[in-house]
Amino acid sequence: MLRNAMCLVLVGLCAAYGYAGEMPKVGDKVPEFEMSGSDGKTYSAKDFIGKQAVIIAWFPRAFTGGCTKQCKSMKESGELLKKFDVAYFTASTDSVKKNAEFAQSLDLDYPILCDPTGKNAALFGVLREGRNAAARVTFVIGKNGKVLAIEDKVKTESHGEDLANLLGQLEVEVKSKK
Instruction: Write the CATH number for 152.
Output: 3.40.30.10
Per-residue pLDDT of the chain (178 residues; tens, 9 = 90+): 433 333 333 333 333 333 336 899 999 999 999 999 999 999 999 999 889 999 999 999 999 999 999 999 999 999 999 999 999 999 999 999 999 999 999 999 999 999 999 999 999 999 998 888 999 999 999 999 999 999 999 999 999 999 999 999 999 999 876 5
- 5 in a structural domain: no
- 8 in a structural domain: no
Predicted pLDDT at 129: 81
CA distance 60 to 126: 10
Name the 3-class secondary structure at 12: helix
- 4 in a structural domain: no
Nearest to 160 by CA among 26, 69, 43: 69
Predicted pLDDT at 14: 37
Q: CA of 49: how far to CAs of 13, 86, 97, 103, in Å?
A: 28, 11, 28, 26
CA distance 163 to 77: 9
According to DSSP, residue 136 is labeled S
Q: CA of 98: how far to CAs of 54, 74, 92, 94, 113, in Å?
A: 23, 19, 10, 6, 11
CA distance 97 to 30: 26
Predicted pLDDT at 175: 86
- Residue range(s) defining the domain that contains residue 91: 23-169
- 165 in a structural domain: yes
CA atoms within 13 A on the CB side of 29: 7
Predicted pLDDT at 11: 35
- 14 in a structural domain: no
- 157 in a structural domain: yes
- 7 in a structural domain: no
- 175 in a structural domain: no
Domain count, the chain: 1
